Amino acid sequence: MRNETLTGYLLHQRPYQEKRALYYLFSQQYGVVHGVGKKGAPLFVGLHLFATGKRDLKTFSQINIMQTDKENIENEQGIIESSSIENSNSKNNAVESVKNDPKSTNSLSYGQITGQNQYAALYLNEVLWRLLPTEDPMPLLWQHYQETLECLKQLLTAIELRLCLRQFEKHLFFELGFELTLSQDSTLSQIEPDVTYRFLPDVGLVPIQSSVEVVNMTTQAMFSGHEILSMVEQGMSETTLGLWSRLHRQLMDHLLDYQPLQSRLLWQQQQRYQR
């Protein structure tokens, strides 16, 4: 790349020298691109920038907030400020603030994303930067990510928030090569209502043959045939949301090699502070 224009969103950043940061940009053009640029770029707002470099680590320059996001931020804050990252007072240290004081999250603003929705947005970013390969274009997933951020700017009920996340996870799994087809089991037999199945991410739905197997397995890994058929018939709905969440959680943990997510831990910690 040589002064190539990229459009995207920051997934993750960390300090790199005194005045610079290492950025993980989810770009519309090339998927995840790693680069170094001046500190101060915000999360969850669209960015335009120039990328230069032949190696994996690019140099990012002229980082600017996309015009639509800039207008939204200005309207919300009631101020006019430059869209240039170097001159803006963006809340780029918000993640560290939440880590240090989980009770402070409601006072922070991530590109108009507030409250519990902030943790959902942090979750999206964390799974993307941990799971997506470098410089592998995924324009459809990028579009779904952008639409999900727009969804998270709205005032959502707990059910609506979970549905929003499950829908995005579905698109992510598909891009990673996991299409959840539940009409057949691992032997290509039709799902039977009275049979209990175990979900194995690399295999599919495996019928459990005996009651002894059921006793030795966790409920998270198991689904009744009735539950699976309801998921097929109703899709992702309020009624079946708990089942889809259980299935997605198991597949996500498998993809993450069962390593904990910082965003989950932050959300759990924040929940404890609210009690």
* Residues 114-131, mean pLDDT to the nearest whole number: 94
- The percent of residues above 70 in pLDDT, for the chain, comes to 79
- The pLDDT tens digits for 31-49 are 999 999 999 999 999 999 9
- Give the chain's mean pLDDT: 84
Give the long-range contacts of residues 204-212, CB within 8 A, separation 24 or more. Answer: none
Helices marked H in 87-240: 94-100, 116-131, 139-152, 158-175, 211-215, 225-234
> Band of the pLDDT at 17, cuts 50, 70, 90?
confident
Q: Return the pLDDT at 70.
A: 59
pLDDT digit string, tens, across residues 208-238: 986 655 555 666 679 999 999 999 999 999 9
In the prediction, which pLDDT does 104 show?
Answer: 37
Quick check: 140 and 174 in contact, CB under 8 A?
no
d(CA 23, CA 47) in angstroms, rounded, equals 12
- Bridge partners of 151, per DSSP, are none
- Residues facing residue 273 across a β-bridge: none
Q: What is the CA radius of gyration of the chain?
A: 21
pLDDT of residue 99: 43
Compute the distance between CA of residue 47 and CA of residue 68 in angstroms, rounded to an integer: 10
State the pLDDT at residue 108.
36
How far is it, in rounded angstroms, from Cα 143 to Cα 167?
A: 13
Instruction: Quote the pLDDT of residue 83.
Output: 41
Of 75, 84, 89, nearest to 49 by C-alpha is 84
Predicted pLDDT of residue 38: 95
The tens digit of pLDDT for each residue in 69-107 reads 655 655 555 432 334 444 443 334 444 433 444 333 333
- Order of strands across the sheet with 222-224? 204-207, 196-200, 222-224
Give which of 102, 100, 105, 113 is closest to 42, Cα–Cα.
Answer: 113
Which pLDDT does position 78 carry in this prediction?
A: 43
Residue 10 vs residue 102, higher pLDDT: 10
Give the residue with greater pLDDT, 78 vs 239: 239
Q: What angle do CA 96, 128, 147 make, to 5 degrees?
A: 95
pLDDT in tens, 134-158: 999 999 999 999 999 999 999 999 9
pLDDT given at position 274: 63
How does pLDDT run across 155-193, given as a tens digit for each residue? 999 999 999 999 999 999 999 999 888 999 999 999 999
